C-alpha cells in the first residue's frame, strides 16, 4: 500500500510539472505570418504564373502533339502489317486491329481524333486532328502520315 501511495504521489508531481510547462508555453508568443501576408504572396505567385503562361503555351502544344505523332506511327505500323498480309491498305480500324483511345470530350485522355482518310492498294493516309485548341488561337493542330511513314504537321497550332 505504501508503494502505491508513493507512485501516486510521483505521478501527481509529474502532472503538476507538466501543467506548469503548458502554462509557460501558452504564455510565450509564437512568430507566424498573418493572413494578409499569405494573401499577398499568393497574389504575387498568381501574377507571375499569368506572366509566364503565354511563353509556355508553345511548349504545351508541342508536348501534346507528340501524342498525335505516336498514334500515327502506330497506325503506320498496323497498316504496313495489314498490307503485307492482304496486299492492300485499309480504312477500317477493326481490320488493322487499331483501337482509338477515348477522347477527352468523352471522358478519356486522348487529345487527337485519329482517322484514316484514304487507302488504296498502294497508298494510305491517316490524319490526327486536335479536338481542343491548345494555345487558344482558334487553330486546331493537324498531323498526317502516309505509307512511307512521312509524318508531317499539316496545320500547326
- Tell me how far CA of residue 38 lies from CA of 47, 49, 68, in angstroms: 14, 17, 42
* pLDDT at residue 17, as a whole number: 63
Q: Give me the pLDDT at residue 114, please.
A: 95
Is the pTM higher than 0.75? The answer reads no
pLDDT averaged per 10 residues, the chain (length 157): 68 65 60 90 92 77 87 95 94 93 91 94 94 84 94 89
The pLDDT value recorded for residue 93 is 93
CA separation, residue 144 to residues 64, 78, 112, 118 (Å): 15, 15, 12, 11
pLDDT score recorded for residue 111: 92
- 26-53: b or e for each residue (b if 16 or more CB lie within 10 Å)? eeeeeeeeeeeeeeeeeeeeeeeeeeee
Amino acid at each position: 500500500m505504501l508503494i502505491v501511495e508513493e507512485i501516486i504521489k510521483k505521478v501527481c508531481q509529474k502532472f503538476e510539472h507538466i501543467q506548469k510547462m503548458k502554462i509557460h508555453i501558452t504564455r510565450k508568443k509564437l512568430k507566424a505570418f498573418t493572413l494578409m501576408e499569405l494573401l499577398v504572396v499568393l497574389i504575387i505567385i498568381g501574377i507571375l504564373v499569368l506572366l509566364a503562361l503565354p511563353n509556355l503555351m508553345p511548349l504545351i502544344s508541342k508536348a501534346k502533339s507528340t501524342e498525335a505523332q505516336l498514334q500515327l506511327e502506330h497506325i503506320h505500323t498496323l497498316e504496313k502489317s495489314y498490307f503485307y498480309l492482304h496486299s492492300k491498305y485499309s480504312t477500317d480500324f477493326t481490320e488493322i486491329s487499331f483501337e482509338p483511345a477515348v477522347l477527352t470530350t468523352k471522358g478519356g485522355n486522348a487529345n487527337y481524333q485519329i482517322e484514316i482518310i484514304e487507302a488504296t492498294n498502294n497508298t494510305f493516309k491517316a490524319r490526327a486532328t486536335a479536338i481542343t485548341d491548345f494555345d487558344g488561337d482558334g487553330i486546331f493542330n493537324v498531323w498526317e502520315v502516309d505509307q512511307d511513314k512521312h509524318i508531317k504537321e499539316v496545320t500547326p497550332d
